[in-house]
Chain A
Amino acid sequence: MTPLWQQSAVSLARAVRNGELRAAEVATAFLARIAALDGTLHAFLGVDAERVLAEASALDQRADRSTLGPFAGVPIAWKDNLVRCGERATAGSRMLENFVAPYTATTLARLEQAGATLLGRTNLDEFGMGSTTENSAFGPTHNPWGESLVPGGSSGGSAAAVAADLCSLAVGSDTGGSIRQPAALCGIAGLKPTYGRTSRYGLIAYASSLDCVGACARYVEDLALWLDVCGGNDPNDATSRSDTPAGDAPTLAALQQRRDLRTLRIGMPWQLNGPGLEDEVAASMQSAVEVLRGLGAQVHECSLPAVSYAVPTYYLLAMAEASSNLARYDGVRYGLQRPGGGRIEAMIAASRSAGFGAEVKLRVLLGTFALSHGYQDQYYGQALRARELLRAEFAQAFEQFDLLLCPTSPAPAFPLGSHRDDPLAMYLCDALTVPASLAGLPALSQPCGATADGRPIGMQWMAPAQRDDLVLQAAHAFERHTSHHLRRARP
């Protein structure tokens, strides 16, 4: 029999609801794996084993198991920039090292409601700012495929935890690729939903117009179920969409119906499918396309000229918004506070200087500059215009294609520390993921191959807004006919 830590979330939940498995039994198995493996990975920042077991046991006490939710007993981890009442929420920052949240993020509340066992908080780049998880104030996470490799970021802890089977699914956030890129580097699937499909309430903001709560998992169907459970309008988030289909797991149901990719038109923007890719990445894409054609898909090249501006556009907008979003960390009401010799400005400056890491300071400073008087139109304003241009080009492309496809990352996982002194090279790692973020589109990364030395390679699907079902269906069809997702780093 398959060990339970290798099962999909959908089948684990079924077994718990049927009474074949107890939630406490599942929790215990995963806690044991965390204890055994996370010492070297450092995917988690905090696991309250007592609370986990108490909550799982409480679920098991429920008299009528058929009333249990769709995620009954499924162990789920969450990125430590989502708040849960009574737990720390550090955002990977010294600033919030001791901050205990007095409320629960909508996504986590919906998972609790669905019966999930919330396992623990995963590591991340400070406030989501980074692509390697090396910017965590609490030390980097290591890639399960090689301890000297980065797991990607900023949701590196979530991706590594799933890739090492320390949880069935992990919630993350994706601002410019923060779920998709680590999913690719760790060899699992990662979903960034349509902007506004999942609530941002309780997500510690990095860049509000780009931040999306998403998830990574080994199995695509688990992501579909996750979206059905966590998606949908939230009155606590004014930017959450009100046109998300409701009903009993509609996305999962649609997923299970589609068996092939016939009639689907897939476009491959050449700007995202050639320049700057490592050879092995390009080769993996090539063979993935053959598989897709074999499944009946029509795959054609297309063009998105504005993506050449995507990286600077993304960083200008993200840093500008971040400079304002992070202003609340002033040491006055909560978080780290350093004395200022009786002067309020000095106290705020000292607290922020001590609380924020180097990358956060860099982005806050650049963002402040991009918004400042006399420069705002030239930088922030120009970025807003470039974003509109990109949106329009995507809209045009989707008149011809149902889905767009490209690699998730131009390169597979690289060694820790290798990009440390070159922020620009680091920012270019995001070139393939930021376009969908800027346009607010659903995008999904799934494994499509590996390098000769075994490092996973991921590819990325993109669809029109609110067509999250399409990226999931395409990925699911590909998954059925390939076995990349079943390769395990820590069997």
Chain B
Amino acid sequence: MIDYTTVIGLEVHVQLATASKLFSPAPVASLGEPNTRVQLIDLGLPGVLPRPNAAAMVLAVRAALALDGAVQEVSRFARKNYFYPDLPKGYQISQFEEPFCRGGTVPIGAGRTCRLHRIHLEEDAGKLTHTDLGTLVDLNRAGVPLVEIVSEPDLRDPADAHTFLVQLREILRFAGVSDCDMELGSMRCDANISLMPKGAQQYGTKVEIKNLNSMKMVQRALEYEVRRQTAVLAAGGTIAAETRGWNDTKGETRPLRSKENAPDYRYFQDPDLPPLVLTDEFVARVRAELPELPEARRARYRQTFGLPDYDIGVLTQDRALGDWFEAVTAAGIEAKTAANWVMTGVLQTMRERALPLEALRITPQRLASLLRLVDAGTLTHGAAQQVFAWMLEHDGEPSQGVRELGLERLTDPLVLQPLVLQAIEALPKAVADVRAGIEKPFDALKGHVMRATRGRADPAIVDALLRAAIGTVGP
């Protein structure tokens, strides 16, 4: 049996995180009643003209720079002509022969990269809902700015396609270009796949797969398609050049349309829009404002903070989380301590409560103040956890939480000594064991005192008082 090489290329649409649409001042919002985020331009009324949104150009260039693409000084908008009720003008404004960015790369792990062919700007279409009453048109999404990122056919494995998307999402999120949410549609992916005999130079017949609504689906659909195409070729058949749709429930692809029936979009330059000119100065300004990208941040965390790889991975998975962590260290907290609290306290709370970082009441400055109280010996670790929990519910400084919870550390022997005696009285067997040289029960005695003070007692002083009372010296 012949061995085949899989050849995969991806076309990814990413919604730019602008406040308004690409060619209209209408707001961009995923929510809202149908047709409420719509102005004259979006309706394609007679006589309206597109009005380019400069903010979208900034984000598009940012995406190009983050992906190491070559921004073109002059590019053009073109019309893609077709009739569909969700397309108000009867054409989509896109870029065709002259995209604003050529080239670029996305890392796909183990030092490998996938090259990009091009990135171009275009506007989104509206949304149709089919009901018993008929088809409803919602134009809220019509005109929303997108960049289409087209990869070279460099991917050789469905798992690489998955990695490509994970990495692309991470980079674009860091760059502040988009939230890249495939479930919500702010990132969409079509995949092209073909097989060729191992060692061949000529690519096989390409099949395009659509309806891929998550990264997992992309990988699963590609894996299915590898199996299907291998079986067809092994049986001596040929692959049809076609577009296939992924059915996630059935776990299979189905033909949507053959390439011979592909519509003729009659692309031509849009006469309503002058060429898009992105000067060197403009690109330099966007580059200067480009946020730190994940790879650079990971290197810095290794060098500056000396954190373990695991911590670095967790803290750099999201730009805001890393920024939060850095704000804690900037307030004078040692990096590993800050990392521990961010990973266990902050991240865990976000997960448990399904809240975004900015919705948490606690701020990096307040966490730092709290940790300084621990450093100064005012709070025990246990008490600090209680204050942390308090700060999640209250808009207040940790000192206020400490007061309200009555959690100042107890270091006064005159206060602690009666509690030590109570413990000795309550746990005679433990005392006897310790006296007999068994060390383990000592923790039970100590725990008794700590519980009685709700964690406020200074463990070192409790230790000393207990040992004095039992009449032994520690291990």
Interface of A toward B, CB cutoff 8 Å: 81-83, 89, 91, 96, 99, 101-103, 105, 200-205, 207-209, 235-239, 320-321, 323-324, 326-330, 332-334, 344-345, 348, 368, 371-373, 376, 380
Contact = CB atoms under 8 A, between A and B. Distances in A.
Nearest to A333: B43
A105 B47 contact: yes
Q: Is the interface of A mostly helix, strand, loop or mixed?
A: loop
Interface string B99-129: 0000000000000000000000000000000
A330 B85 contact: yes
A208 B91 CA distance: 14
Contact of B268 (A202, A207, A330, A371): A371
B109 to A, nearest CB: 40
Given A327-B81, A372-B264, A89 B90 contact: no
Interface residues of B, number: 29
Interface stretch (B48-56, B181-189, B285-293): B48-56
Contacts of B83: 327, 330, 345, 348
B92 to A, nearest CB: 11
B251 interface: no
B272 A324 contact: no
Given A209-B271, A327-B91, A204 B44 contact: no
A372 B83 CA distance: 15
A423 B354 CA distance: 69
Contacts of B266: 323-324, 368, 371-373, 376
Contact of A238 (B84, B89, B135, B272): B272
Nearest to A83: B47
A239 B90 contact: no
Nearest to B89: A328
A461 to B, nearest CB: 26
Given A208-B272, A345-B83, A371-B81, A330 B90 contact: yes
Contact of A332 (B48, B137, B271): B137
Nearest to A384: B269
Contacts of A327: 81, 83, 89-91
Given A324-B79, A327-B91, A330-B83, A201 B271 contact: no
Interface string B331-346: 0000000000000000
Contacts of A205: 46-47, 272
Contacts of A328: 44, 46, 88-90
A103 B45 CA distance: 10
B268 A344 contact: no
B46 A321 contact: no
Contact of B273 (A83, A239, A376): A239
Given A344-B85, A373-B264, A238 B47 contact: no
Contact of A204 (B46, B51, B271): B46
5 contacts: A82-B47, A200-B49, A239-B273, A332-B88, A373-B266
B36 to A, nearest CB: 15
Contacts of A91: 46
Contact of A202 (B47, B52, B271, B272): B47
B49 A236 contact: yes
Interface in B73-96: 79, 81, 83-85, 88-91
B88 A333 contact: yes
A324 B266 CA distance: 9
A96 to B, nearest CB: 7
Given A201-B47, A373-B266, A208 B137 contact: no
B90 A324 contact: yes
